[in-house]
Amino acid sequence: MKRVSRLLGFLRASPFQRRPSPARQFPPGPLIDSMDKMEEEKLAWYSKDNFFPVKIGDVFHSKYQVVGKLGYGGYSTRFKVNPFHDCASLGERELSNRYREHVYVTLKLYELDSAHAEREIEVYEHLKRLKSCHAGTVLVRTVLDKFQLRSTDGSHFYQCLIHPPLGMSLFELRNRCPRKVFPENLLKPTLIHILLALDFLHAEAHVIHTDLQEKNIMLNIEDESILVDFEEAEISNPSPHKVVGDRAIYYTRKMSIPKSMDAPYSQTSARLALGRSQAHIVMMYNHSCTGLRRYYFACPGMKR
């Protein structure tokens, strides 16, 4: 009996058991004139009813707290969230073992009754079912969780997907380089990894790209301190926003440059087609799983 008690005590204290992160209080940011269009409002087809009214600090699905806005697209908005619960249900193997005090994931929140969301989920599930030894399999982003939020009257829904966190896009990175040009030692390995992922998607998954561009190529996060910095920046310097009725629209907060610049940068986001289905996914480089060469780069004079 004592052995069982000691074993239970060890399991409770094990580093593999993550303590839930408590919900945090986020101060309100500066207000912007509600007459000025910003962010997703500038989309030609924008309708306020099509986008869920997210506020920084909100808690969704009883476990995800919004800590900042990452961006928006034609059919969705993206937020960084902090789950305050045991993350075993998120497929924790896909998250770094170094995320012990805090866990950060990305929430992609689709427009009202989104057909695009249904097609993306179809592609993700298709990829998940594949059993392949192709090196490109680990270059594809996964979904950790999914759920729906209901409209005020309960007659409609907003689909939500939870993804591992990612850094800035290659577009953002290039614009921080001198003369807005990538160094050769970054460009070559990035192209190699893109081609590996494409080969897997085309040859084995039979999924076809329809929108491959540098704005859709995301960077892997090796320096996880930038995730903590993102949240702390939102608390110390809250995002400007406007209030329209029951909703707040925030400016996107940019991810910072990692303090260590020797991280491999090789993730790609693309719009894909599976039959008539499309999905916005990310190809991720993980050299420990693939045996691929690990590449490093430095961009002298990079603007932080």
Q: Which residues are catalytic?
A: 211
Q: Which residues contact 260 (CB under 8 A, 6 or more apart)?
A: 222, 223
Q: What SS3 class is residue 64?
A: strand
The H or E element that residue 117 is part of is: helix 115-129
- Rounded CA separation 103/83 (Å): 6
CB 29, CB 240: distance < 8 Å: yes
Tokens read off for 230:
């993102």
Angle of CA points 293, 299, 300, to nearest 5°: 140
- Rounded CA separation 79/252 (Å): 9
- Rounded CA separation 217/280 (Å): 11
Report which of 67, 22, 59, 24 is spatially closest to residue 250, judged by C-alpha positions: 67
- Rounded CA separation 239/56 (Å): 9
Burial class (CB in 10 A: 0-12, 13-18, 19+), 221: buried
Tokens read off for 299:
């961009």
CB 274, CB 280: distance < 8 Å: no
**What do you get for the CA distance between the two ends of the chain, in Å?**
58
Torsional sign, CA 286, 281, 150, 59: positive
